[in-house]
């Protein structure tokens, strides 16, 4: 089977059988195209563990961060497991020795830095209201950025202050948000969103300046600019708001199990890292 055909079958499997998010599928595709350019084997039956090892060496020589290497190789691993499952190849991908990711604690923002972020958007402009609503919702709910930008109009209940989102593996969860989040969401949706659509139609709540769906990269640029304008001297990312949400809840007495459910972690051990941050 040619690599391109096998790749399409694998991506279809990820959508239909595993229910993975569109962003995850896109990453898989990008990583595997890169893998194929390096190993230069157009017939998947010729793939071996040696090709994966060569790929790791290549990524390392390119100066990629360990976290990036692990993510890109994880895509290849999932592809190999699929090929084994379909009896196209026969190998044990778990034999590959992966580089060890150094343990580090999440970087969080202080309460003061959160306030600076929330105060920055220009509330006299539609995109300022949109930015304030996105920041308020993300900090109040701990959503992943992919969950935030995929929120649809039917996913919010402004009367009861909660949002419905779909996390990893399309797992649904209901997350409460604060009154401020509901306030700015309501203002954005009822007073500004329609004027931002510019002829496009989408159920996604948050739109970019061209009237289309907000992207991860678009929100990343927004939050980086706000941090720069407010002289927040941290390499800020959208995920930092999620880390801050969890840490600040713990600092204010919330129990770990509740935070686990709100974050959508499948294991409590994943959530426990925030106890080290608070310590």
Q: Which of 168, 204, 212, 230 is catalytic?
A: 168
Phi-psi region for residue 108, left (φ > 0), alpha (ψ -120 to 50) or beta?
Answer: beta
Q: What is the dihedral of CA 171, 174, 177, 179, to 10 degrees?
A: 150
- Is 183 an annotated catalytic residue? no
CB neighbour class for 203 (10 Å; exposed up to 12, middle 13-18, buried from 19): exposed
Catalytic option among 132, 193, 248, 265: 265
Among the options 64, 164, 230, 239, which is catalytic? 239
pLDDT of residue 225: 93
Residue 275 has a pLDDT of 80
Q: Does 274 participate in catalysis according to the annotation?
A: yes
Handedness of CA 180, 182, 185, 186 (dihedral sign): negative
Question: Is 85 one of the annotated active-site residues of the chain?
Answer: no
**Ordered mean pLDDT values, 10 residues apiece, the chain (279 residues):** 94 92 91 93 91 89 85 93 94 81 79 92 92 96 94 94 88 91 95 91 94 94 92 90 94 90 85 77
Q: pLDDT at position 103, please? A: 65
User: From the candidates 130, 242, 243, 248, which is the catalytic residue?
Assistant: 242
Element (H, E) at 219: helix 216-229
Task: Determine whether 55 is an active site residue.
Answer: no
Q: What is the pLDDT of residue 279?
A: 59
Q: Is 265 annotated in the active site? A: yes
Rounded to 5°, angle at Cα 27 from 166 and 193: 50
Cα radius of gyration rounded to whole Å, the chain? 21
Is there a catalytic annotation at residue 144? yes
Determine contact, residues 207/193, Cβ cutoff 8 Å: yes
In the chain the first and final C-alpha atoms are separated, in Å, by: 53
């Amino acid at each position: 089977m040619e690599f391109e055909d096998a790749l399409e079958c694998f991506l279809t499997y990820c959508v239909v059988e595993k229910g993975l998010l569109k962003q995850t599928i896109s990453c898989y595709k990008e990583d595997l195209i890169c893998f194929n350019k390096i190993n230069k084997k157009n017939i998947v039956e010729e793939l071996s563990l040696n090709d994966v090892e060569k790929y790791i060496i290549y990524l390392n020589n390119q100066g990629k961060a360990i976290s990036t290497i692990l993510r890109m190789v994880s895509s290849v691993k999932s592809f190999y497991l699929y090929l084994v499952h379909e009896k196209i190849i026969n190998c044990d991908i778990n034999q590959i020795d992966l580089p060890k990711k150094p343990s580090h604690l999440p970087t969080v923002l202080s309460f003061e830095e959160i306030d600076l972020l929330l105060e920055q958007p220009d509330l006299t402009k539609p995109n300022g209201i949109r930015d304030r609503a996105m920041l308020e919702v993300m900090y109040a709910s701990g959503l992943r950025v992919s969950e935030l930008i995929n929120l649809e109009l039917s996913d919010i209940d402004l009367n009861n202050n909660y949002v419905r989102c779909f996390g990893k593996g399309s797992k649904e969860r209901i997350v409460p948000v604060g009154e401020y989040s509901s306030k700015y969401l309501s203002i954005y949706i009822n007073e500004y969103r329609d004027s931002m659509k510019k002829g496009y139609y989408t159920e996604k709540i948050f739109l970019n300046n061209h009237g289309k769906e907000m992207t991860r990269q678009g929100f990343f640029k927004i939050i980086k600019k706000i941090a720069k304008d407010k002289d927040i001297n941290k390499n800020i990312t959208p995920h930092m708001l999620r880390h801050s949400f969890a840490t600040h809840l713990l600092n204010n007495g919330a129990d770990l199990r509740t935070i686990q459910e709100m974050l959508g972690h499948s294991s409590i051990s994943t959530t426990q890292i925030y106890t080290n941050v608070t310590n």
